[in-house]
Amino acid sequence: MEDLMKNNTYTLSNQLQIPAIGLGTNLLDGNQAYVLVKEAIQNGCPLVDTASFYENEEEIGKALQETDRTKCFLVSKLWKDQMGYSKARKAFDESLSRLHTDYIDLYLIHWPSDDESLNKETWQALIDLYKEGKVRAIGVSNFNVEQLLQLMDMEIVPMVNEIEYHPQNKQNNIVSFCKAHNIQVIASSPLGRGKILDNFLVKRLAKKYQKTPAQIVLRCIFQNKIIPIPKSSNSLRIKENLNIFDFELEDKDLENLNSLPPLASGE
Ligand code: A2P
């Protein structure tokens, strides 16, 4: 599987290579995070996404210490109560120490504030961390177009925006803006928290390509040039979710998946 994963990267606006798939960890706590992340990295999972809010950085740090740190592209985020220049810098140092590492590959603002100046001040802290070489790339999460625009005249603009995204939650405005400005989109909840897996078309394509429904959805997201970070609390499903590079959806099938109607609210 590691071989299949090798060339599947995108290039961020600062020329850093980022893996095209990863593992979301906000379902994982305590020992579960340690065991599953360690196993995932050993199985070739190229990217692990955490956040101070997930309260699993210690366990992920332990997993990193016991595997090969250089093989894992590590993403973390500062939380809402860590906004502001000095709080953001402190948040970063605390995450670094919990993660038992001396660098984070990609550091994100987890949620925008309603206060534009607070967003800018926090972003300036991330710019400085980047310029000091403590983090290899910087970005935001859950920012809409208006909030992204607040940062577009700063010295460095976000390299990534991590948002909820899947074929039935396409967030067209944000994705188009990001593509136009060379901001890589990362898709959190790429399986619609499991809800999209029962879709008739997804199930039909799973049969056609001899893949699982999850692999069909994740492959669709990959072919849309967006990075899916599916979550799972099961090691076999984590393995399954990373295995999307040995087949290709035909154009028509991709088009049909991309034309699925949004999930009804409450679905
Ligand atoms: P589980 O933890 O039991 O594997 P999302 O990443 O969109 O938030 O989706 C996460 C949900 O999807 C979880 O409930 C997870 O359940 C489920 N899930 C993840 N991978 C798979 C898979 N390959 N097949 C079925 N369900 C999956």
Residue range 30-84, pLDDT digits in tens: 899 999 999 999 999 999 999 999 999 999 999 999 999 999 999 999 999 999 9
Of all protein residues, the one whose alpha carbon is nearest to atom 19 of ligand 1 is 232
Residue range 221-241, pLDDT digits in tens: 999 999 999 999 999 999 999
Work out the angle between the directed axes of helices 213-223 and 251-258 (0-180°, nearest 10): 100
State how far the Cα of 123 lies from the Cα of 116, in Å rounded to an integer. 11
Pocket test for ligand 1, best of 25, 164, 191, 240 (most atoms within 8 A of CB): 191
Tell how far the Cα of 230 is from the centroid of ligand 1, in angstroms. Answer: 7
CA angle 192, 98, 67 (to 5 degrees): 75
Q: In this structure, which amino acid lies at residue 37?
A: V
214 lines ligand 1 (CB under 6 A): yes
216 lines ligand 1 (CB under 6 A): no
- Read off φ and ψ for residue 72, nearest 5 degrees: -120, 120
The DSSP-derived string for 225-260 is T-EE--B-S-HHHHHHHH--SS----HHHHHHHHTP
pLDDT at 30: 85
> Which atom of ligand 1 is nearest to 166's Cα?
7
> Which atom of ligand 1 is nearest to 189's Cα?
7
Task: Give the model's confidence band at 257: pLDDT under 50 very low, under 70 low, under 90 confident, else very high.
Answer: very high
Q: What is the DSSP letter of 166?
A: B
Least confidently predicted of 35-44, 59-68, 141-150, 256-265: 256-265
Pocket test for ligand 1, best of 164, 221, 231, 263 (most atoms within 8 A of CB): 231
> Which atom of ligand 1 is nearest to 196's Cα?
7
Residues catalogued as catalytic: 54
Is the pTM higher than 0.95? The answer reads: yes
Residue of higher predicted confidence among 45 and 265: 45
- Read off φ and ψ for residue 174, nearest 5 degrees: -65, -45
Measured CA distances, 38 to 56, 128, 239 (Å): 13, 31, 12
Q: In this structure, which amino acid lies at residue 25?
A: T
Tell how far the Cα of 103 is from the centroid of ligand 1, in angstroms. Answer: 29
